[in-house]
Structure 1
Amino acid sequence: MGVEVSVEGLTKSFGSQNIWRDVTFTLPSGEVNALLGPSGTGKSVFLKTLIGLLHPEQGSVIIDGTDITLCSAKELYEIRKLFGVLFQDGALFGSMSLYDNIAFPLREHTKKKEDEVRRIVMEKVEMVGLLGAEDKLPGEISGGMRKRAGLARALVLDPQIILCDEPDSGLDPVRTAYISQLLIDINATIDATILIVTHNINIARTIPDNIGMLFRKELVMFGPREQLLTSEQPVVKQFLSGDRFGPIGMSEEKDEAVAAAEAAMQAAGISGGGTKDDFTEIIPQVQPNPGMPERKASVRHRERVLEMLPTFTPNVQDAILRSIAQEDEIKAQNRGEMAQAHAATVAAPAVALGKSAPDYAGDDAVTQSWAVAPGLVDGPTEEYEVPNEGGRHSSTEIPDNRS
């Protein structure tokens, strides 16, 4: 399972320029998280601080119980083995083939034999859709392919923490959707803690369990995705909608004269160019592909958020409960479709062999494959008491998939 990452009072500067100050939040074990913020707010600097490439002026970064701001170089080297990092531009070695780039962490940090290295590398190459391109140099492929090769390299050590610096940059919308799905499938498979830095609002709406946002050198908020997506804070609403009218300007500190002029244009009905999407309408979170295990992190996240529910405003509570209902509906639908697919698979060979479907379904091999198919049997349910807007309590029944 992925490990918890906790930052407290983190402050970073370059000389007299303060990047961010007093940043405090926790990435829960195994959950998927996103960090948003305008360009230049230090999101990439934050990732480099998490892995100890940059040292903060104040605060702590506690990973698996170790504060990396205080540990020795040897301890930091061991802690870094927990990480897989997808850099913004892929950060591949230009003189190495994709295969050798992806194999590099295995050769550097393990004593595996070359045949085992090849098995792992080719598994990751296939996972990111680069089969047939493994012998090419980074300069011979597109930016999107380099990004996918960088992701394969980040995964070869089966990391417990995965940091992704703008995984969608250089990718078209279709490849972005594939990368997003891949991250969810990876989380379902190895239960790694994931932090995604992104400007892509669609990724932020559909992928993470939790979202944070940096602005003007501070953490605006961090919590369940529904909390940020339903926020009434002007900076959050402006960033989500992509509108030029609001606190965010071309430079981080918007000039008062510019702000006044834009306010006048807005009052006159002139558009700021943003989308008119209703972000309070929560889009269902992306689920693992059929055949993948259910995300253990989603179960833990649900339990944690339901415990916190009374601390949220009524609109956030409502959004969270609607999200839970949507997720349960999607899971039930997926289980039904998988059951139908398995029934069809069992029945077809039975007809071909002149057997009845029930007889063939009793075959040991078929019975075994049916038994290991994930998510076909509903688990027990538990009742959670959640407050409604009037302060009264109602009971919501939520499937418990921990088994």
Structure 2
Amino acid sequence: MGRLFGTDGVRGVANQNLTPELAFQLGLAAGYYFKKRSGLAKPQFAIGKDTRISGDMLEAALACGLTAIGADVFELGVIPTPGVAYLCRSLKVTAGAMISASHNPVEDNGIKFFTGEGFKLTDEMEDEIEAIFREQLETIERPTGVGVGQITDRSDAVARYEEFLAGSVETRFDGLRIVVDCGYGASFALAPKVLEKLGAEVIALHDRDNGARINVKCGSTHPEILQREVVAAGAHLGVAHDGDADRIIAVDERGEIVDGDAIIAICALHLKAAGKLKNNKVAVTVYSNLGMIQTLKEHGVAAAVTANGDRYVLEALREQDLVLGGEQSGHIIFLDKNTTGDGVLTALQLIAAVVESGKRLSELAGQVHKFPQVLENVRVGTKEGWQERAAIGAAIARAEAELGDQGRVLVRASGTEPLIRVMAEGPDEGRLRELVGAIAAAIRGELGG
């Protein structure tokens, strides 16, 4: 067995490699870790889940493991991942867990933990839990009698998160027509409700609790239906979320995509104009468009560029005392408001920027100049040792030599899927596609698909 924790918790095909037995044992290990860390005889855990079919099964197993170690469990029901992060603080629990595979297909699922402060666990904390999981489960003393934990339904607490979201902006959305694609995921009820509470006329797409169709040709990874509906409805804009609603992709009134890079830039410039952008700096990843970074620089906003992944963005935000950062994929953190990427909250901040600027979203997005960027996700039979394959290295080297200082090539393995991501950026989109295609072909030739 490889490392239990990946880049975003424990992931796998539900009931195959992410089994209820594993979830039970993970509950024991995590419960024991937080019991020792907190010094509490009965630590409290908040558990949330998205809509996917296997959520109930894994929730029951995880809660069983936690209560077996003596922890009390608050079951939040269906809620976005950032809602769990927020409620960890609001409910003052010892830790939290979210059961979701984010934008992945319905057969996948995952378990990720949060501290009582609402932050995802560090690598060191995950390593300690994994060591307990592998080495101590048989010897851990389990409580009996009144020492056993209990499970309480706290789905009522989702209303606290809704109120928090509605209060995160200072302006109302009266007169706006907004299309929201919930992707049959965790935001299916919450996102339309919050927008309506703020006065918007809402057209909701894929807004049912249908875990069999989560992320299927809808949501932030498939915005085509949203684009068509925004234009057909004459809406002012549209927003789309993924399965656990920690991401957002927006669509302007013309049906054009406004990605995470553009959203970060729009919100950064809006905050700077209001004197609310700490240190006039944002955190972005190596995948962020160089043109976007240049646009920010032209407006007096610096960019801290991190490795790919929201944990590195968060690390930069905390270390450099910043309030805004995120990824091109739409995983965006407003650290002065929540401790993790929050798709619904980001949508509200973006819409508030539109309202307060008096401009259309297309005008705001038009300020952000971008270089052509081509990304291909290459599905492979194995990711092991891909960096040592000479043919792949040669294809990358040829592309880098051709682009020189006029562009760049980034190739990395996905942390959650059997994919190698190939991205090239430069002045000529046609040539970029050829270069990316050549690298992708080398990867398929070496690693299968």
Higher relative contact order (CA 8 A, sep 6+): 1
Q: TM (normalized to structure 1)? A: 0.27
Larger Rg: 1
